[in-house]
Amino acid sequence: MAIMSQSPRIFFEGHTVTATSNYVYNSLNATADSSGKITTKTDYTVVQIGVPELAASALSYRIEGKFDRLDRWAEIYTGSVTATTTIDTLITVTEKVKELRMGVKVDNNSTPNVLWAGICNTEVR
């Protein structure tokens, strides 16, 4: 299969996440239902996550998706980081959803908690 196109989109770009009881979905710490959503009607979607600085004891993240007819976010993948990363992690999303977003939260007010995260949508033929 040949790659027809790739489209990267960014959730967090070197953003410092502060303590919150709810997940935040973009660099503005937004928590609304529409926050951070990206259209993902492509063949493959890969999420890239990196945490080069972590002062809190843990940074939790959750990848969520929505199907076409059911207008509710569903959990696709959850994970956490408990130490700084020297190389980013890639997570392949195999579910075919119409929208995708990534939420993140940290467990205490220690800062900085620097987060880089985005997706790459790929079309193949």
pLDDT in tens, 42-51: 888 999 999 9
Residue 2's pLDDT is what? 84
More confident of the two residues 30 and 100: 100
Spatial distance between the Cα atoms of 123 and 7, rounded to a whole number of angstroms: 9
Cβ distance 18 to 109 under 8 Å? yes
In a domain, 7, yes or no: no
Cβ distance 46 to 119 under 8 Å? yes
Residue 76 has pLDDT above 90, yes or no: yes
Structural domain containing residue 83: 14-117
Counting Cβ atoms within 10 Å, is residue 5 exposed (0-12), middle (13-18) or buried (19+)? exposed
Residue 29 has pLDDT above 90, yes or no: no
Q: Both tokens of residue 122?
A: 């790929």
Residue 28 has pLDDT above 80, yes or no: no
Percent of the chain surpassing pLDDT 90: 47
Averaged pLDDT, 19-30: 83
Residue 18's pLDDT is what? 83
Residue 102 has pLDDT above 90, yes or no: yes
In a domain, 9, yes or no: no
In a domain, 20, yes or no: yes
Averaged pLDDT, 73-86: 93
In a domain, 8, yes or no: no
In a domain, 36, yes or no: yes
In a domain, 43, yes or no: yes
Strands, E assignment, the chain = 3-16, 38-39, 44-54, 59-66, 74-81, 89-93, 99-106, 113-124
For residue 98, the number of C-alpha atoms closer than 13 Å in the C-beta half-sphere is: 8
Averaged pLDDT, 97-123: 90
Q: How many domains does the chain have?
A: 1
CATH code of the domain covering residue 29: 2.60.40
In a domain, 3, yes or no: no
Can you give the length of the chain in residues? 125
In a domain, 81, yes or no: yes
